[in-house]
Amino acid sequence: MSRVGVPRGPDTRDPLDVRIEEKSFQSGSGEKFVVLRDFSLRLRSGEIAALVGPSGCGKSTLLRLAAGLDTDFTGEIARPARDRLGMVFQEPRLLPWRSVIQNLRVAAPRATASALDALLKAFHIDALRDRYPGELSGGQARRVALARAFAVEPELLLLDEPFVSLDAALAAALRAELAAIVENGRVTTLLVTHDLDEAIELADRLILMAGRPARVVADIAIAEPRGARTSARISEIKADALGRAAAAAP
Amino acid sequence: MTARLVSLLALLAAWQVGSGIAGARLLPAPAAVAAALLVEARDGALFFNLGVTLARVVAAFAIAMILGSALGVLMGRSRLVDKLADPWLVVLLNLPALVIIVLAYIWGGLTETAAIAAVALNKLPSATVTLREGARALDPQLDDMARAFVFSRASWLRHVALPQLAPYIASASRAGLSLVWKIVLVVELIGRPNGVGFEIGSAFELFDVTRILAYSLAFVAVMLGVELCLVQPFERHVARWRPARA
């Protein structure tokens, strides 16, 4: 039995509080695979955390559980009201038959026109507002998907490998823009990525996952603000993270 | 466009020649049919019968499309509904149109309701099958997106589902319209006191080929108008977001 979307009591102010007893999948042949067992994760308000791990370790599964897209598990998850959740998927997942501005409006019916205009400007897509997604480049479509997630004025932002399959330069540019916007709004964010560099650039907390069923092998807080991280410090954090991941490996 | 015009003129010419060979009684010339059309139009019978038939077509078509689509989408989305409704669907699909019509008249009397129900029941299963395919092809990724952003049911239907179902609806409509109007004529022939089917039936008893051709051509023209003025603009409208094909 799963208890989902438990209303947050006065003692649990955290935007996301995940306590999973077990999450498993059934394979085609009826075999049971346990992906997560006794897994807990709590994000404090304003925290920007990155879940890092090899592909297939259960990061995306965890994100889907956190988003409420998958309710087949045992445990408890407390999250903000459902309409204050912004999500960016691995693919843009825009409605191809709705223009850019309509995509934002449909996803965030309560957002004001001026708020949406401001978002379009912030993501440099104000010139594309009446285009259809089929007329956008890959990078432009990602920007629209990001703008859509912010349009609901999220209390919790969930990002599932948002820059995967973009070329490196474009991904870096988008990452820098996203970092600036996240910094401004202090939106509590959970980023899923397999790219440690991306995680260090965006997050102030790194959560390394590994194993099957997956567990947290390292939980590293990065004290320096995003702008002040020197390349020396970044390599130090990276070495630390890689070292702990290696130590945890069987 | 000119190719179509040439083809149409060739058809008329073949008709004229055929009429010369077969004789005016078996195949009256185009001019004779046009004259008969004018006579029927002048005393208003033509427009009355066309109107009555068109109204039956619209009613039966609307009922079949709305109920058939709703059932199709339910069957495409739910395995249980699919399993429960599938045998019924197979029976209905394979029941000859004539059987449904005759039974409807026997059980419902020679009434308007029985007539329209019989036509709707003939069209419904094929609309259901088409829309079931459409519902099965709905993109699960967009459904996830809609759930993550808590789309209302109405918003999901309007912005996520219907645009994906539109090609299936257009295809079911096109196939449905031509099927429905043909069955409406049979229903009118068997058990209605007016309409194009009734007129063709009484012309058949008098061996009046001119009137048979006049009425059928007039109704083909009406249905062509529906196709050009309603179905095709609808298809263009729902496809407007697609990048233009080369």
Separation CA A9–CA A13 (nearest Å): 7
Three-state DSSP at B37 gives helix
Using CA coordinates, name the residue in chain B closest to A107. Answer: B149
Least confident of A3-12, A160-169, B60-69: A3-12
- Flag whether the pTM goes above 0.90: no
Question: Residues A18, A40: contact at Cβ < 8 Å?
Answer: yes
pLDDT at A11 over 80: no
Q: How many domains does chain B have?
A: 1
Q: Are B148 and A135 an interchain contact pair (Cβ–Cβ within 8 Å)? A: no
- Residues 6 or more apart whose CB falls under 8 angstroms from that of B146 comprise B155, B156, B159, B160
Does residue B43 form part of some domain?
no
Does residue B140 form part of some domain?
yes
**B73-129 pLDDT tens trace:** 999 999 999 999 999 999 999 999 999 999 999 999 999 999 999 999 999 999 999
Q: Are B148 and A148 an interchain contact pair (Cβ–Cβ within 8 Å)? A: no
Token look-up 């709004």 returns A185
**Mean per-residue pLDDT for A181-187?**
80
CB atoms within 10 A of CB A212: 13
Q: Is B48 exposed, middle or buried (0-12, 13-18, 19+ CB in 10 A)?
A: middle
- DSSP label of B160: I
CA distances from A131 to A137, A234, B239, B242 (A): 11, 39, 14, 11
Three-state DSSP at B137 gives coil
Task: Decide if B136 touches A, using CB distance below 8 A.
Answer: no
**Mean per-residue pLDDT for A176-200?**
85
Does residue B192 form part of some domain?
yes
pLDDT at A151 over 50: yes
pLDDT of residue A250: 59
A125: left (phi over 0), alpha (psi -120 to 50) or beta: alpha
Q: What does pLDDT average to over chain B?
A: 91
Give the pLDDT band (50/70/90) at residue A84. Answer: confident
Task: Decide if A180 touches B, using CB distance below 8 A.
Answer: no
**B138-168 pLDDT tens trace:** 999 999 999 999 999 999 999 999 999 988 9
The percentage of residues in chain B with a pLDDT greater than 90, rounded to a whole number, is: 77
Q: Are B144 and A68 an interchain contact pair (Cβ–Cβ within 8 Å)? A: no
pLDDT of residue A13: 66
Q: Are B145 and A93 an interchain contact pair (Cβ–Cβ within 8 Å)? A: yes
Cross-strand partners of A26: A32
CATH code for position B84: 1.10.3720.10
Does residue B8 form part of some domain?
no
**A200-248 pLDDT tens trace:** 888 889 998 887 788 888 888 887 777 777 777 878 888 888 888 777 7
CA distances from B47 to A103, B57, B218, B239 (A): 47, 15, 10, 34
pLDDT at A4 over 60: no
A89: left (phi over 0), alpha (psi -120 to 50) or beta: beta
Range of the domain at B148: 52-238
Chain B residues whose CB is inside 8 A of the A96 CB are 163, 241
Task: Decide if B221 touches A, using CB distance below 8 A.
Answer: no
| Segments in A123-167 forming alpha helices (H) | 138-151
pLDDT at A197 over 70: yes
Does residue B115 form part of some domain?
yes
| Residue A167 phi, psi (nearest 5) | -70, 155
Q: B100 is written with which tokens?
A: 């449904």
pLDDT at B246 over 50: no
Considering only residues A56 and A153, tell me which one the structure prediction assigns the higher pLDDT.
A153
**A177 residue type, one letter:** E
Least CB-CB distance to B159: which of A68, A69, A106? Answer: A106
**Mean per-residue pLDDT for B39-65?**
93
**Mean per-residue pLDDT for B210-224?**
90
pLDDT of residue A2: 45
- Rg over alpha carbons for chain B, rounded to the nearest Å, is 22
Q: What does pLDDT average to over chain A?
A: 85
